[in-house]
Amino acid sequence: MHSDNFDLSLYFRRIGYSGPAAANTATLHALMRHQLFAIPFENLDVQAGKIVSMAPDDIADKLLQQRRGGYCYELNGLFTMALQTLGITYRFVAARPMFYPARRPKTHMAVIAEVDGRQWLCDLGVW
């Protein structure tokens, strides 16, 4: 997910991260940890029947400026905006929760990031 207007320093402040802006495994893990603890899972708009914008600038505004939480598409989308700014390669993957008794459609989105020659499953939108 790409945004020409993504503000990496605002993202770092929002998640309380003060480490290096480096494209390496240590930074990837630190950003995941910081974002998980700083930006909550929230699906209030979904539950209220509101249309949730998937436009990158709208996601960044909601989570960074309005300081709200989001659900998987928003949380993982925001994370990939930071990854792209850092130069970390990623791709989205469809997923489903495992705790349901029957197989359900893949309605969840996660991210696979590639850094330091390894692939990492990154999911900041779990609840």
Out of 34, 61, 122, 123, pick the active-site residue. Answer: 123
72 is catalytic: yes
**Are the C-beta atoms of 90 and 80 separated by less than 8 Å?**
yes
In whole angstroms, give the CA distance from residue 100 to residue 123: 18
**Are the C-beta atoms of 109 and 93 separated by less than 8 Å?**
yes
Out of 2, 34, 57, 108, pick the active-site residue. Answer: 108
9-42 per-residue burial string, b: 16 or more CB within 10 A, e: under 16: eebbebbebeeeeebeeebbebbbebbbebbeeb
Closest among 87, 93, 88, 85 to 112, alpha carbons compared = 93
- Give the three-state DSSP class for 37: helix
4 is catalytic: no
Out of 7, 57, 61, 72, pick the active-site residue. Answer: 72
Positions marked catalytic: 72, 108, 123
